[in-house]
Amino acid sequence: MKKIIAILLVAALALGLAACGGNGGKSSGTKVSVFWYDESDVYLSSVRTALNKELDGLEGVSYDNQYAANDQSKQLDQIKTAVAGGAKLLVVNQVTSGAADTAEDILKAAGNIPVIFFNRAIGTDGSDLPVLQNHATSCFIGTDAPEAGHMQGKMIGDYVVANYADIDVNGDGVISYAMMKGDEANIEAIFRTQYGVEDANAVLAAAGKPALKYFDAANPSCYQVDQGGAWSAAAAKEYMDTNFVTYNETNGNLIELVICNNDGMAEGVIASLQEKGYNKAGAHLVPVFGVDATDNAKALIAEGAMTGTVKQDAEGMAAAIAQTVKAIAGGKAPVDALASLSDARFSIASDCSSKLFVAYAPYTG
């Protein structure tokens, strides 16, 4: 009987140890839930792949990924469910970019559980500062939203000045452009749309060249936006296909330059251009610029179909999040977790110590 009891005790102990395992057998002492605004975003897919790898390497951490299908109500319900299910740390890619009140709702649902917001801004015009400053359990990891627009605009201006005659297909001395905006309300999209043109025009003015001219004088917005807010290649291709009906070489008003808020939309534009015989080997190149430096964009640049992009560092974003998760799991407050990161790719925002930026970089191959 004693022998049987001993065997049962050993078996129970083994089962207990197994129950503590998770994420490859590691202790799941810190249960992390990661919330993504959508599963199909090309750039964030790269972040997710890198982040999964980073989190897999953290001892004492288990995690799960949840997708909101671009539905803020769904994401908030997911967060509430995760909290009820014992999550100890929330990593949130907020659906409604720039909405400080939504960030407040998320923090209310989280209670005392730390929240790392990432990638999509949680406020505009400084409205994120009170959110972060009034909630010691929160921090933000992302990019300095205007920086990508400034960098893209300078890249475009420099390229146009250097290649003006080749770009000016109809020889009227003015470069006509199209702008593909990813989302009407997203703060990154707003700044990229604004500065991608403004900064290009500043370079052109300094070189004595006229400003870029939006191709459709009847559109006062001077952009075409993905109405679904998905920054999609499909939306950009559909716009370009429609544009070509009226704006083409035959009519002497071909769109001579295309600026896109991201590389996904740039891919859609290039697909449309190539169907019309452009942006292929030996054919006329309509310069197309994006943001993200995705693998597909790099390949298009290498083959000469795309002109340039701005690298949004997916691996850097993932590393910043994972290192912050590790520090918080180790007992640090979010603001102290950010301060403890030592990496040349990262910088603390000048206006808020709870906000960390991952640097952009130009990419032309």
| Nearest Cα residue to 94 out of 142, 136, 54 | 142
Distance CA 179, CA 199 (A): 14
- Under CATH, what is the fold of the domain 146-312? Rossmann fold (3.40.50)
What is the CATH superfamily name and number for domain 16-142+315-360?
Response regulator (3.40.50.2300)
Q: Which pLDDT score is estimated for 150?
A: 98
pLDDT, residue 138, reads 98
The confidence score (pLDDT) of residue 124 equals: 87
Question: b/e string for 57-87 if b means 16 or more Cβ within 10 A?
Answer: ebeebbbeebbbebebeebbebbeebbeeeb
Identify the helix (H) or strand (E) that includes residue 76.
helix 72-84
Same fold, 16-142+315-360 and 146-312: yes
pLDDT given at position 125? 86
Q: Which pLDDT does position 29 carry in this prediction?
A: 84
Q: By C-alpha distance, which of 124, 122, 225 is closest to 182?
A: 225
Q: Is residue 22 classed exposed, middle or buried when 0-12, 13-18 and 19+ CB atoms within 10 A define those classes?
A: middle
Q: So where are the chain's domains?
A: 16-142+315-360, 146-312
Element (H, E) at 98: none
| Whole-number Å distance between alpha carbons of 20 and 12 | 13
pLDDT along the chain (365 residues), means of 10: 36 32 47 96 94 97 97 98 98 95 98 97 92 97 95 98 98 98 94 98 98 98 96 97 98 98 98 98 97 96 98 96 98 97 94 96 93
Q: Please state whether 87 falls in left (phi above 0), alpha (psi between -120 and 50) or beta.
A: beta
